[in-house]
Homo-oligomer: A and B are copies of this chain.
């Protein structure tokens, strides 16, 4: 398990987690089961605590907000998908957009869950803190995709990995939040072509 894939509580090295790791896993499993069975409307700290046979304070000790717990379950769903490593920048970009973002959100409830966390984060500081930390981590993690292309000598070594990943993530968020996830394939190809053209090695160098 890489650092990136650990739940918030473990990453934070909470004392509770050391005291009783089994119970933390039970809470995550209960949360995932509720989300799969009842969707977002049935998801609350109270419902999760009841199903995991834990006290609400126990859940809150590890996940300071409903959004933080939602994001850990969401990340669990995402980790079931392979992070792209095709050996080719263009294919990696396409796989990142389709497999990790747009395609991931169109499957099942994941898009709905993520939209809802983004929405909550606009008015609830706890949700904002959880989302921003999660999102910053994912973005950093995804930069490896650009760095690998640089290491292969495939693209301009001066290409800005962070900006490229944020352009892709921004496009995908925009599609999600304007209800246009479906039918994005042709535009995904155009976005990939745009980034590939922008990061071509300068022939004069």
Q: Are A167 and B164 in contact (CB under 8 A)?
A: no
Closest residue of chain B to A200 (Cβ to Cβ) is B197
How many chain copies? 2
Q: Are A128 and B179 in contact (CB under 8 A)?
A: yes
A64 and B164 alpha carbons, distance in the complex (Å) = 39
Indicate whether A171 reaches chain B with its CB closer than 8 angstroms.
yes
A177 and B167 alpha carbons, distance in the complex (Å) = 14
Q: Are B179 and A132 in contact (CB under 8 A)?
A: yes
Decide if the interface of chain A is mainly helix, strand, loop or mixed.
Answer: helix
Q: Are A170 and B163 in contact (CB under 8 A)?
A: no
A171: which of B166, B177, B187, B195 is its contact (CB, 8 Å)? B166
Nearest-Cβ distance from residue A71 to partner chain B, whole angstroms: 13
A131-181 residues with Cβ-Cβ distance < 8 A to B are 131-132, 135-136, 160, 162-164, 166-167, 169-175, 177-179
Closest residue of chain B to A187 (Cβ to Cβ) is B163
Contacts of A120 in B (CB 8 A): 119
Indicate whether A52 reaches chain B with its CB closer than 8 angstroms.
no
Q: A131-B178, A170-B174, A179-B132 are in contact. Are A164 and B116 (CB under 8 A)?
A: no
Nearest-Cβ distance from residue A82 to partner chain B, whole angstroms: 24
A93-145 residues with Cβ-Cβ distance < 8 A to B are 115-116, 118-123, 128, 131-132, 135-136
Indicate whether A198 reaches chain B with its CB closer than 8 angstroms.
yes
Nearest-Cβ distance from residue A97 to partner chain B, whole angstroms: 12
Nearest-Cβ distance from residue A43 to partner chain B, whole angstroms: 14
A178 and B135 alpha carbons, distance in the complex (Å) = 8
Q: Are B118 and A122 in contact (CB under 8 A)?
A: yes
Closest residue of chain B to A122 (Cβ to Cβ) is B119
Given contacts A131-B178, A167-B171, A170-B175, 11 further A-B contacts (CB under 8 A): A118-B122, A118-B177, A119-B120, A119-B123, A121-B177, A135-B178, A166-B174, A167-B194, A169-B174, A170-B173, A197-B199
Listed A/B pairs (29) with beta-carbon separation below 8 Å: A115-B122, A116-B123, A118-B119, A118-B122, A118-B177, A119-B119, A119-B122, A119-B123, A121-B177, A122-B177, A128-B179, A132-B179, A135-B178, A136-B178, A160-B190, A162-B187, A164-B194, A166-B174, A166-B187, A167-B167, A167-B170, A167-B171, A170-B172, A170-B175, A173-B174, A174-B174, A194-B198, A197-B199, A197-B200
